[in-house]
Amino acid sequence: MDASISLIILACDARLSVIITHPQRPSLVPIELILSHIFGQVGINFMMDLLESNGFDSIMVMVDHGLSKGGILTPCSKTGLSAEKTSRLYIGNAFS
């Protein structure tokens, strides 16, 4: 019986040495680096011709396709919507 216990202990030691010598995982990325890339890949769409509410009849939908997978819904008006106004809405809502 002592011989079989010795064999089991030797087998466990061999397995343990394999587990210990296994390559380590890479270190985690600091939060500051992750936060700097949020809303780095953005998709912008418009939902237009909705029922008017508080003077708005459209919604600008911004979705982060990168890290956060978050979205921002911004009310806007279809009339007078241009590239300049879209960029102002994007900068004012995504980075505030």
- pLDDT tens figures, 29-56: 555 545 556 667 788 899 999 999 999 9
Phi, psi (deg, nearest 5) at residue 64:
-85, 115
Quickly count: other Cβ atoms within 10 Å of residue 60's Cβ: 20
Residue 4 or residue 62, greater confidence = 62
- Domain range spanning residue 6? 2-94
Q: Is the pLDDT of residue 58 over 90?
A: yes
Binned at pLDDT 50, 70 and 90, residue 71 comes out as confident
The count of domains in the chain is 1
70 and 83 Cβ atoms separated by less than 8 Å: no
pTM here is 0.57
